[in-house]
Each structure stands twice: as structure tokens, then as C-alpha cells.
Amino acid sequence: MSILYFLNQPETRSLTVLLLLAVITPILAAYTSLFPPILWLSLTSNYVYLFLYFIFVCFITRLIARGGTYSEINKLNLKGKTYLITGSAGGLGKQTAIQLAKRGARVILFARQSNLQQAIDDVKKQSKSEDNVIGFPLDLSDLSSIKKCVDLYHQSEGKDAQIRALINNAGVMACPYKQTKDGFEMQMGTNHFGHFYLTKLLLPQLRKSKSRVVNVSSTGHALWQVPCTPETYAQQLNEKTYNPMNAYSLSKIANIYFAIELDRRFGLQAYSLHPGAVNTELQRYMGFLTVLRPLTLLIFKTPLEGAQTQLYCALADGVRPGEYFADCKQKAYGNPHAADKDKAKEWWDYSEKMLSEKLK
């Protein structure tokens, strides 16, 4: 199931088409007269035709790679609605903030202190919204930073301020083994436990506002094909046997379980999603992608394209809560265990227990 799941992703389909158009088609044309002989001679002898063919290949590849789009956003007026976004200093988070602010929303950025002011300035400039964009420093790998961020937010906005949606966008991927300040493995600590604690601190407001909670997961959850339990997670904490992608996959399954439980326990409209393979800083620990940069520019999504599904989950009508989405559509899980509601409850209880121990 995992192989078929990955083969059906936009980036995989676009790569397949790229190979077909760039390699197979010219070979077939040369030997089967797919094109008239005169045209084929022109293609092989005239750089203009070769250049036009290259542009055609790139266009078709990019058209497939971009995936689904949420075009209905252009009809929306979001004035008076507030959206909180983690990881909003760049990539998907920043593009999500820009698109929301453009439509009149009040956008609150949660990002690391070192990048926060630049992110605020960029979002204001690109959205042409000077008055509706503010931010607070947040480091999701530090529980004390999360608490301080929420305290600052409450001091500024009030504990009764309406929240239309919390978009848990921030994350880290495939980093070498290290721990958060509180002793969590870095990927689970940032991607799951950090967002879990942040959401819990905001939960009274989220429930009162009947908010949406959007968890950015990943197709990477399909890499882990056995039941995801606290025990299997604990086995990943051994530095000697640590596998960065396994740890990432587990953290993304935890994002899915978190959305399922938020919906079940509190009736919040909670969603998990795969944004697509996107050209962002998230892949900074995956050095081989640097070498393949020209290729990823063609077959990966831009940050704006990647932000479409989280915008869809945050804004669209009739989106079924507690489910998993990609390309602005509800999708099947790539891991059959991701739909296990008993495991989701188990992970919630485990997360509560771990936070309680760390916050003593």
C-alpha cells in the first residue's frame, strides 16, 4: 500500500511525466516518426525548437506538480476573523498568513524570535495589510517558550478573543538525533508535543470560539507501516539506532491522531493534511535534495501551492472534521493504522502524561 500511495502523489506523477516527455518521447519520435520527419529534423538542428520543447516539458510538469488549488478563497472576505499560525516565518506558514491577510483577516504569527519581525514585515508588505498582522515569539521545542508565547498573546488580545482557526504548521524533518530543551526527541517534541501543549493552552478559547484546528501532517506518515504506539516511539529514542525518517513519520502520525481526538473529545473542527512535497527550508537536513535542486524546482510545489490545502481546511465549507486531506480533497490514509481511533486515544493520554511529567 505504501508504494502505491507514494506513486499517486503530485510530485511523483510530475516526475513520471517529466521523464516521459524529456526522454521517452524524443526517442520514440526519432524511431517511429511520431513527428513528421521535417519537424523532427528541425527539433534536432534548431536550438529555438529545442528551447520551445524544453519550455513545453517544464510547463506540463509544473501543471501536474502544483496539485489541487483552493480557488474559492478569492471570493472570501475574512474581515473580523482571526487566524493563528505557527511556523509563519517562512515557507507554507508565511504564504498562508499572506493569503489570509490579503482577504482582510487578522493574522497572528507564531515564530522564532530571530525571524519574527522580518516575517511580520514581509506579510504586511506582500498582503498590503498594515494593521492586521502581529506576532509573538515561539519556540516549539521549548515548553517554557510555548507558555510564554501564549501569555504574551493573552496579554495583547485577551483570553476571550475569538479564534477562527489555529493552524499548526511548524515542523522539523529528518534532523540528526538531538533532544528538545525538555528532553523530547526533537522531531516528536517539535512536531507533536509542542503543538499539543500550545493547543491545550488555547483550548478554552478554541472551544468557546468553535474554532478549527489544522494540523500539517505529511505523506511521510505512510513510511511507518506498523502500529504507532508509545512503545514503538520509545524505541526510536536510542541514539545508536535512531532513524531520522522513522522519527519524522511517527511525529506525522501523531499529528493525525491529535486531530482525530480533538474532534472526538471536544467537537472541534480539527483536520490533518499533507501539503505536498514543497520547496521550503523543511528539507534542510536532506542534503541530497540540494544536489537535485533544479529537479525539485520542477516537480515540487511552491510554498503558495503547498499552502492550498491548509487554507482549504481552515476556510472551506463542508470540510469533514477529524479526517485527512491533500490537494484540497479528503484522502485515504497512507498508513492503515492512522485511522485507529483507539490508538488516537492512547496517544492523547500518553501526550498528557508526558507533558505532566515535563512540567512538574
SS (H, E, C) 112-139: CHHHHHHHHHHHHHHHCCCCCEEEEECC
> What pLDDT, on a 0 to 100 scale, did the predictor assign at position 224?
72
pTM over 0.95: no
Residue 304 is which amino acid? L
List the single range of 64-73, 209-218, 271-280, 295-304 with lowest mean pLDDT.
295-304
Question: Which CA distances in Å does 218 have to 24, 48, 172, 261?
Answer: 31, 41, 12, 18
Rounded to 5 degrees, φ, ψ at 79 are -60, 135
> What pLDDT, on a 0 to 100 scale, did the predictor assign at position 184?
94
The CATH class of the 72-358 domain is: alpha beta
Rounded to 5 degrees, φ, ψ at 270 are -110, 140
> What pLDDT, on a 0 to 100 scale, did the predictor assign at position 234?
74
SS (H, E, C) 59-83: HHHHHHHCCCCCHHHHHCCCCCCEE
For residues 280 and 307, the model is more confident at: 307
Active site amino acids: 248
- pLDDT of 251 > 70? The answer is yes
- As a whole number of angstroms, the distance between CA 235 and CA 220 comes to 19
Residue whose cell numbers read 502520525:
253
pLDDT in tens, 253-269: 999 999 999 999 999 99
